[in-house]
Structure 1
Amino acid sequence: MEIVLVVLVVVFALGFDYTNGFHDAANAIATSVSTRALTPRAALIMAAVFNMVGALLGTGVAQTIGSGIIDVGERPAHTGLIMVLAAVVGAIVWNLITWWFGMPSSSSHALIGGLTGVGIAGGITVHWDVILDKVVIPMVFSPLVGFGLAFALMIALLWVFRNANPHKVTRRFRHAQTVSAAAMALGHGLQDAQKTMGVIVLALVAGGFQATSEIPLWVKISAALAISAGTYAGGWRIMRTLGRRVIELDPARGFVAETVAASVLYTTAFAFQAPISTTQTITSAIMGVGSTKRLSAVRWGVAGNIAIAWVLTIPAAAGVGALVFVVLDALIG
């Protein structure tokens, strides 16, 4: 029975990875498409490729997810696997809800919320210190850093190019956005595909098929392919929210937002192994560059709705995950 549950967890985890790809594809390409730096199809292909490359570059975030949130080993293998499955289902459900309404919520926090919910419902150890240090604190500071850096860098660029020909500057930054969008896609793969790797390893450990949190090569490749395929499927609803409804972007502001967001993603993944939200980071950077026009240029009502989705994500996914665990445990536990 354990082998069947492990297979189910792997399938659902890769399904989550796929939804993560189409849910968060907008993170990498919304600004480039909205400024016409890239066509939608070219942007999707580029984002899919660099998502795959990014997924293979590190494992620090995966190990945080795989061993740092809950201890499924405290329960029998059968129950532990049900818990991991319920957590993934909770994250998928929240991803689909927010995708349907076009809200750029965090797939990362949905997964962490699902794991936390099943941990509470299953009566096992939840590492609240890790959640505080590597989830909550980065959740608060990464948008602030993204906003502040994007605002400061945009002000600096406006000063540097204050006497330049506007048409030439726009054309150059439109070309530069190809690079910054690729960097953003690479950072998204580096962060988000690793979270699926962590869940699969968590299932392998819970089922007794692996003793450590080391990430096998087949897990890396499977997660990379799933998120890449999901990215290519697109995320047009959320793309409209990020690319148009928050702020009307020009190529220079799109370049700055993507560059700052990608830098934050790399820093947190390599230096802190913290699973931060790519959605929060790019959205806050977009708001930062938009504020350099004038504060009223940012549609703060839309931004407020996005913030509400951010706040609700962890508890909502936790609730769904806990409910799914209770139901599955009663049916097959």
Structure 2
Amino acid sequence: LIGGIIWNLGTWVIGLPVSTSHTLIGSILGVGIVNSWMNGDGLGGLNWGQVATVMMALVISPLLGFVLAAIGLITMKLLIRDQRLYTPPVDNNPPPSWIRGILILTCGGVSFAHGSNDGQKGMGLILLVLIGFMPVYYAMDIHDQHKAKACREAVLSVKQVLAQANITDAAILKQADKVLESLDGKTSLAEVSEDNRWEVRKEIYGLVVALGKLEKTTPDITKSILPLNHVIKSSIEFIPLWVVIGVALSLGVGTTIGYKRIVITVAEKIGKTHLTFGQGAVAEAVTAATILGAVFFHMPVSTTHVLSSGIAGTMAANNSGVQFETCRKILLAWVFTLPASIILSGTLFIVGCMVV
């Protein structure tokens, strides 16, 4: 978190839009790599398949934003002929009310999508920290009074589904029996002794992963297993309400206080001409749609880079030209954010381990 904050604040001071997603993921990777190395696991302590999937989403999404925004602006020009949409504002004159309504709608869409994607990353990272520092309280959902009972019933149902499908996967059945034994006679997960909570969490997580693999290899039972696995997973993957509220407030307050530097770069320095109302609306609509699509597929993407590339796409489609110096800086930030945050967080983790 500290490494990510240092990088994000540093780039904000110079008005350079960078990806919080890249920063957060890089910070987690940095700590994960160093921790794995310190434990003697080399680079084997990370799920590199998942890392590759995340990286692919972060690379493809800006390219998609550029292309879709260019196509969107061309389409808008064919359908809506009002030239006020395609003329840069003069002397800060406000747009007509109907154009302002469109901008409010598209801007609201970006904000909603941004919260849906970046908000989840923020909440996930905070929960990761809470689990690391206070596993007794956050390793499992001890606040739901009936979570242990629900989890146990779901595991029993899973065994019934497997038996009916004549699936005798010894590893899954063994893992299921471990969970059933650990939760035997318990209604709430708070009834699990504090000393055993981390071990029980590992047992539940192992079962969730095994069932996830089974869903992919045996699609015939996916419809039956998927909702049950979701119930089991909810016992260890949960977000406290105060974390949700805190992240939402942080996103809102941070944007309110520090928006101006980035807005000037995005609106005035990417293209050679000032951003028009039409370009802004198209770029925002494409950004919102791209991010919501990523949320649907559970992929983290960068709102910053999708929006920046979307604006560049509208500039190219409008023959407005782009300021290559600004685009070069944004591209360099895109390239270096991940390694910089990896190095920062990894270094801070090493220093922290030496001090504590």
Alpha-carbon contact 2:85-2:276 (below 8 Å) kept: no
Other-structure match for 1:89 = 2
The answer as to 2:66 corresponding to 1:147 is yes
1:279 to 298, 304, 317: 304
How far does residue 213 in structure 1 lie from its aligned partner after superposition? Answer: 2.0
> Aligned in 2, Cα 1:167/1:330: closer, same or farther, shift over 3 Å?
closer
> Aligned in 2, Cα 1:300/1:117: closer, same or farther, shift over 3 Å?
same
**2: distance between equivalents of 1:113 and 1:165?**
44
**1: distance between equivalents of 2:84 and 2:302?**
34
Alpha-carbon contact 2:283-2:311 (below 8 Å) kept: yes
How far does residue 168 in structure 1 lie from its aligned partner after superposition? Answer: 7.9
Letter in 1 for 2:294: T
Other-structure match for 1:233 = 257
The answer as to 2:287 corresponding to 1:261 is yes
Other-structure match for 2:227 = none
- Structure 1, unaligned stretches of length 5 or more? 1-87
Other-structure match for 1:290 = 315
Query: 1:43-192 alignment to 2 at 5 Å?
Result: 88-123=1-36, 125-133=45-53, 135-161=54-80, 164-167=81-84, 171=96, 172-192=98-118
- Aligned CA-pair RMSD: 1.6
> Aligned in 2, Cα 1:328/1:266: closer, same or farther, shift over 3 Å?
same
Other-structure match for 1:301 = 325
* Partner-residue secondary structure (3-state), 2:317: coil
Letter in 2 for 1:157: M
Alpha-carbon contact 2:85-2:278 (below 8 Å) kept: no
How far does residue 322 in structure 1 lie from its aligned partner after superposition? Answer: 0.7
CA displacement 1:59-104 (0-9 Å, x = unmatched):
xxxxxxxxxxxxxxxxxxxxxxxxxxxxx11111110111112110
Letter in 1 for 2:303: T
Task: Tell me the number of residue pairs that the alignment of Structure 1 and Structure 2 aligns.
Answer: 240
Other-structure match for 2:343 = 319
How far does residue 287 in structure 1 lie from its aligned partner after superposition? Answer: 0.6
How far does residue 173 in structure 1 lie from its aligned partner after superposition? Answer: 2.9
Other-structure match for 2:121 = 195
How far does residue 316 in structure 1 lie from its aligned partner after superposition? Answer: 0.1
Letter in 1 for 2:302: S
**Structure 1 runs, 4 residues or longer, greater than 2 Å off:** 164-175, 203-207
Alpha-carbon contact 1:116-1:318 (below 8 Å) kept: yes
Letter in 2 for 1:195: K
How far does residue 165 in structure 1 lie from its aligned partner after superposition? Answer: 4.3
* Partner-residue secondary structure (3-state), 1:237: helix
Alpha-carbon contact 1:287-1:298 (below 8 Å) kept: yes
Letter in 2 for 1:154: L
How far does residue 175 in structure 1 lie from its aligned partner after superposition? Answer: 3.0
Give the number of the structure whose alpha-carbon radius of gyration is greater.
2
> Aligned in 2, Cα 1:186/1:307: closer, same or farther, shift over 3 Å?
same
**2: distance between equivalents of 1:259 and 1:115?**
30
Alpha-carbon contact 1:91-1:111 (below 8 Å) kept: yes
Alpha-carbon contact 1:201-1:213 (below 8 Å) kept: no
> Aligned in 2, Cα 1:213/1:150: closer, same or farther, shift over 3 Å?
same
Identity of aligned residues (%): 34
CA displacement 1:283-321 (0-9 Å, x = unmatched):
011011111121x61112211210110110111001000
Letter in 2 for 1:131: V
CA displacement 1:137-167 (0-9 Å, x = unmatched):
1111101111111111111111123xx3424
